Homo-oligomer: A and B are copies of this chain.
Amino acid sequence: MLKPLGDRVIVEVVEQEEKTSSGIVLPDSAKEKPQEGKVIAVGSGRVTENGDKVALEVSEGDTVVYSKFAGTEVEKDGKEYLVLRENDILAVVQ
């Protein structure tokens, strides 16, 4: 398992097949919308200049929407994850 540091979050990408209105499946590079992912692990939060630790808003298990080009890909035990800063997460799906 990976435990992210600070205000980071580890996300399992939810692949979305995407078709144009005429039914053509778009290759990966043609998709530009934000992506969905499932939160696998969260960091312990960022430390402000005041010395306080601010806990993350998202929790393990949340489905989140994040900017497509954010984060760093990480591979662990043959699976691909994305390490994001919480600031790159736009919203939680409820």
Give the B-binding residues of A (Cβ under 8 A).
Answer: 1-6, 8, 10, 33-34, 41, 44, 47-52, 54, 57-58, 65, 67, 72-76, 83, 86-87, 89-94
Contacts and interface: CB of A to CB of B under 8 A. Distances in A.
Overall SS of chain A's interface:
strand
A58 B74 CA distance: 18
A10 B65 CA distance: 12
Chain copies in the assembled complex: 7
Contact of A34 (B5, B57, B74): B74
A87 B6 contact: yes
Contact of A74 (B4, B41, B90): B90
A39 to B, nearest CB: 12
